[in-house]
Structure 1
Amino acid sequence: MTESRMDFRKAKFLISAPDIAHLNQYLPGDAGVEIAFAGRSNAGKSSALNMLTDQKGLARTSKTPGRTQLINVFELDEHRRLVDLPGYGFAQVPLALKKKWQYALGEYLQERQCLTGVVVLMDIRHPLKDLDMQMIEWAVESEIPVLALLTKADKMKQSERMKMINEVRKHLGDYDDRVKVEAFSSLKGLGKPKVLSILNEWCHPEWLMEAIAEAEAADESEGQ
């Protein structure tokens, strides 16, 4: 079956949910395909989403990282969605709230059957913090592919950037092909084509393509 190309520029805001329970009420956990974006509150998640979709205001960027703790869902089409998960690891919030967010993130990864990939964003200058590793391990244990996205790559010279990419790939080597590592810059667009290629692959799992084909065939037979 031929894989089509997603037009990520068509992304539009769908819903914000405070937790997994509210999300499941609006969007059943087995409906369609979701790709989640997760990362520390200062990793540049919103900026990355805006760059990847060519929309400056799709995901709201805040001058105070960690302020917005909602699950924000953006629709690509009737079958596919991008999900901006709450930022984690922000220093200026109570410990109890941090633990609540961590639990919610783990719950999302473990319960959303429609999840086909997780982008874990990390500042290339400070990658693989404890919570980053926990997020990656959660996803791998749930058999969900991961893209470890090293953001703010324009802050480094090319030689330094390649050295860090290789170090992170070596550190995550035990996960084999389950975890891909790429550098990215929301400011310069560095790495954008490669990231979009990976997201496009995740948007077209074989089971979804077969389901769409079957639905289209059924509609054609009814129309005859």
Structure 2
Amino acid sequence: MGQGCTWIEHYRALQRAVLVCLCLCLCLALPAWAQPIQPQQLVSAARQQVGVTLGYDPVYRRLDYPGGDVPLATGVCTDVLIRALRAQGLDLQQAVHEDMRAHFSAYPQSWGLKRPDRNIDHRRVPNLMTWLRRQGLARPSSAAASAYLAGDVVTWDLGNGLSHIGIVSDRRTAQGVPLILHNIGRGTREEDILFAFKVTGHYRFASR
């Protein structure tokens, strides 16, 4: 009887160990945020920055971590997305930093860094493009306005080595082209610039 109980205890312990391993594997496979990103909420959070973020300032700043931000009155193009996603619980500063710590060589080596820098990495468009792609969020780029849905994220090549990022609005022009919520130098605005520059990336958080 004693040996039987011991065998059962070992079997149950093994079951618990397997269950823990499965849970860990599942957690590692999940995206870096707890809840699905809602496209309309992303658009609304970005639009709330219009008239609030009035300037553009690319100066390097030391930030708190996690949740670090520059003054709300200013920022760069990436800050529009960073702030809008934080409203839904996704901190790109932390998400990008943790992924870069684990997979530094997977990210662009364009700034001469030998290790991640949590003050600036998430504020660089090429890094966000890499992170978005690594999360499985990349979509085909298209010349058709109908391919871009509210809440999508788009990146552009402005020329002269400059990249840009913005959020697709739920508002469209009379020709059906969606507006973009972005900060290209004059604060956060909602403008018709989707096809003004070369599109280099198209990303979507939600399956539709």
TM-score range, shorter chain: under 0.3
Q: How high is the TM-score relative to the length of structure 2?
A: 0.25
Structure whose residues are more often helix by fraction: 1
Q: Of the two, which has the highest radius of gyration? A: 2
Q: How high is the TM-score relative to the length of structure 1?
A: 0.23
